[in-house]
Amino acid sequence: MSSGLIDGFSVQETHGILWRPENQVRVASDGLGWSSLYASTQREAPYEAEFAAVDDHLIILHLDGPVGVARALGKSQSRRVIAPGGLFMLPGGVDFGVRLEGYLDSLHLYLRQQVIDEVADDCGMRAHGDVELLPRLGVQDPLIEQLALSVRDVLMHHDPSSQMYVDYLARLLAAHLLRKHSSLADTVIAPLGGLSRAQVERAIDYMESNLCEPLTLADVANASGLSPSHFARRFKSATGAPPHQYLISMRVERAKRLLLQREPIAEIALECGFSHQEHLTRVFRRLTGVTPASFRRAAQS
């Protein structure tokens, strides 16, 4: 199955900030198979450097502070003292210089240009002209902060079934950046139509047939003949749940059926797309209030 994006977004495709020896990377998404975005958390030490452009878009969320940051874009220079929750955002294709004036706990996100292009096309923004993301220094944006922290939570508690959720978050982030931090910010976007019954059924049938696979958003969207960003928004409108949540519910429902049999719980976990028994137990308890073992005992009593 293919996401339609370059597989395995890695640190080699970033600016190289994480390679600096004084920075201590805590966790990063290398090797997790994420294609929509790259993520890392780290403790950064003071430094000053210049970086060549990369294709994709950088968002740095400051997790502590305040700390002074100076940025150079060509002949333009600016400096801000950035508080916790502040953002440093740099579009792809831009050389820049930066001076970090103190120690900083940060979350770095790189968002694929291909995701931006996809969402801009689906939103109809390109009909209004070329669209470019804008650089930001020290701004506060609660929605970007929330989405970034959601990515961090997935990064800190990763499991193979999280890939669809990451794809979903990447497209929410892209849509917000286009609407609020682009050259066409606040452009009025025509509302989308809904999914047909046949499209919903094809998506659900595809998920049901591939529950044990690490599905991406593009995998399921392709079954409905739509782009991932179009599909995600329409599917939620049609079913009341985003695709990743609907998929999790389907996996738990299959697990319930299998738990009524004598099959070992560890094998049920793998058959239902969970990475291991503990993963099944954690999700099953969150959705049902009981563990799989308790559910089986109650059903057999």
Q: What is the pLDDT of residue 128?
A: 58
Residues 172 and 150: their CA atoms lie apart, in Å, by 11
* Contact present, 252 and 284 (Cβ < 8 Å): yes
Residues 86 and 50: their CA atoms lie apart, in Å, by 21
Q: What is the pLDDT of residue 193?
A: 59
Phi-psi category of residue 289: left, alpha or beta, with phi > 0 → left and psi -120 to 50 → alpha: left
Residues 216 and 131: their CA atoms lie apart, in Å, by 27
Identify the DSSP state of 75: T
Write the pLDDT tens digit of every residue in 203-260.
999 999 999 888 889 999 999 888 888 888 888 888 889 899 999 999 999 999 999 9
Cα angle value 118/123/124 (rounded, 5°)? 100
Question: Cis peptide leading into 242, omega within 30 of 0?
Answer: no
* Contact present, 174 and 111 (Cβ < 8 Å): yes
Write the pLDDT tens digit of every residue in 39-51.
999 999 999 999 9
Q: What pTM was estimated for this model as a whole?
A: 0.85
Q: What is the pLDDT of residue 85?
A: 97
Q: What is the CATH number of domain 246-300?
A: 1.10.10.60
Q: What is the CATH number of domain 11-180?
A: 2.60.120.10
Write the pLDDT tens digit of every residue in 186-198.
665 555 556 788 8
Residues 206 and 215: their CA atoms lie apart, in Å, by 10
Residues of the chain with pLDDT under 50: 1-4
List the chain domain ranges. Answer: 11-180, 197-240, 246-300
DSSP string, 82-105: EPTTEEEEE-TT--EEEEE-S-EE
Cα radius of gyration rounded to whole Å, the chain: 21
Q: What is the pLDDT of residue 8?
A: 78
Q: What is the pLDDT of residue 240?
A: 87
